[in-house]
Amino acid sequence: MQSEINVFKTELIHEAKRILSFWATQAVDTVNGGFLGQIDFNNQKHPEADKGSVLNARILWTFSSAYRQFPKEEYKIAANRAFDYFTSHFHDTWHGGVFWSVSADGNPAETKKQVYAIAFAIYGLAEYYAAFSNPEALDLAISLYLKIEEHSFDKTKNGYFEAFTRDWQPIADLRLSDKDANEKKTMNTHLHIAEAYATLYSVWPDKELGWKLENLLVLFDTVFLHKETGNFKLFFNEDWIEKPDVISYGHDIEAAWLLLRCAEILGNEILIKAWRTNAILIADATKTGIDSDGGLWYEYDAVQHTLMAEKHWWPQSEMQVGYFTAWKISGDRTYLDIVLKNWEFTKKYLVDLENGEWIWGINADYSAIQKDKAGFWKCPYHNTRGCLELIAQL
């Protein structure tokens, strides 16, 4: 087994550096600054494309985290580039928070306040501070945290509301994307608030922030996680009445390890114990989404009872970390075998050895899904993070 682990670690290091090289060289916007808003499936660059706050916050996190593990000058340069552009163009200095998107030349485009995006801004800024000790980054991360608590936290019924207008007024369309249910509270946004708060807490261990993170971990354990099935409930109204939707295998297994990591950062032994148990429960439930080739299907529609027969890039990275975590907790070799088989699937079908990065995914017939190589949702966050997490654990 040790030889398998050694090969796996070597391949992960190589792949992480290969992904990072793509973003540091191919995705840089040499005309308008920052990074390009889109590189399509055919690897054609679109310098006119709008730039998303989520993409750019994730780039900031990625190069900051990479520098902490592999302190190479090119990663520092890319992280600084991401930080300078994000703070100059995405931060709404008038109303607070961040814009959802800016135009190619850096002017505000979609100005609504999506709390999901603000959480990722905190995540990236806190990681940048951890890497480079820039006080401006920490100050901005704290101010964004306070904005979320001021406007998004439901002081009556707990949890966080999804979205607002630029000046923090109610908004009709709360959705992150067209495929989402238009509900006021979602598992996805809460997950990434928890992730952001944990990263901020690791560099700024404020007592009230710790309480907020603890509250989120309890909410996930008591409200979002369906203890009988091991899946997460995804959409709720303001009164915590669920709107049944899909089973998202990727979000399930991502949360399994990520919420345990949040509990470990918080240092709460009761929550650590609870999320170690939950990590195994969720991993076992997610097995129903694994195909015979080792790949993880995208979603199962629990209402229509139909499988979305696609295998996207990001759930593969999350399941690798999720099942590796299950193996470390339990010692059951079955979980490690799932990781290694999925890694072989990923290398065979998703890694683009010729052009760099990974493709979006494959269909059931193994044809490529012809979506962006870089864009609003296609970024170096999941696959780089997966590699870095596993390298650190190995």
pLDDT score, position 266: 98
Q: Smallest Cα–Cα separation from 232: which of 254, 216, 211? A: 254
Is residue 290 very low, low, confident or very high in pLDDT (cuts 50, 70, 90)?
A: very high
Dihedral of alpha carbons 106, 107, 110, 113, sign: positive
Q: Which amino acid is at 287?
A: K
The CA distance from 148 to 66, in Å, is: 27
CA distance 164 to 152: 9
The CA-CA-CA angle for residues 301, 256, 5, to 5°, reads: 115
Q: What confidence tens digit (pLDDT) does each residue in 184-200 have?
A: 999 999 999 999 999 99
pLDDT confidence of residue 1: 83
Enter the tokens of residue 30: 């040499």
Q: What distance in Å separates the CA atoms of residue 117 and residue 97, rounded to the nearest whole number?
A: 9
Q: Please name the residues in contact with 153: beta carbons below 8 A apart, sequence gap of 6 or more.
A: 159, 160
Tens of pLDDT, residue by residue over 157-184, are 999 999 999 999 999 999 999 889 999 9
* Burial (CB count <10 Å: 0-12, 13-18, 19+), residue 31: exposed
**Contact, 119 vs 125, CB < 8 A?**
no
What's the rounded Cα separation, in Å, for the pair 253 and 382? Answer: 12
Top CATH class of 2-393 equals: mainly alpha
Q: Please, what is the Cα angle at 295 between 290 and 298, to 5 degrees?
A: 75
Q: Kindly state the percentage of the chain with pLDDT values over 70.
A: 100
Q: What is the pLDDT of residue 302?
A: 86
pLDDT at 243 exceeding the cut of 90: yes
Q: Are β-strands 231-232 and 163-164 bridged in parallel, bridged antiparallel, or unpaired?
A: unpaired
Secondary structure of 151-196 in HEC code, one letter for each residue: HCECCCCCCECCEECCCCCCCCCCCCCCCCCCCCEEHHHHHHHHHH
The packing angle between helices 207-219 and 187-203, to 10°, is: 150
pLDDT tens per residue across span 33-74 = 999 999 999 999 999 999 999 999 999 999 999 999 999 999
Query: Residue 333 is encoded by which pair of tokens?
Result: 């070799």
Q: What is the mean pLDDT of the chain?
A: 97
Tell me, what amino acid is at 69? Q
**Nearest residue to 53 (alpha-carbon basis) of 110, 132, 136, 137:** 110
pLDDT of 293 > 90? The answer is yes
Report the distance separating Cα 163 and Cα 53, nearest Å.
Answer: 14
Q: Where are the domains of the chain?
A: 2-393
Q: What is the largest CA-CA distance in the chain?
A: 57
In sequence order, the 6+-apart residues with CB closer than 8 A to the CB of 41 are: 359, 360, 368, 370, 371, 372, 373
**Facing residues of 300 across strands?**
247, 307
- pLDDT tens digit string along 140-152? 999 999 999 999 9
Distance CA 129, CA 144 (A): 14
Helices (H), the chain: 2-25, 53-69, 73-85, 115-132, 135-151, 187-203, 207-219, 249-266, 269-286, 313-330, 333-349, 381-393
**For the purposes of burial, counting CB atoms within 10 Å of the CB of 44, is it exposed (0-12), middle (13-18) or buried (19 or more)?**
exposed
Q: Tens of pLDDT along 297-356?
A: 999 998 889 999 999 999 999 999 999 999 999 999 999 999 999 999 999 999 999 999
Here the tokens at position 105 are: 């030349």
In this prediction, residues 200-218 reach a mean pLDDT of 98
Residue 45 DSSP SS3: strand
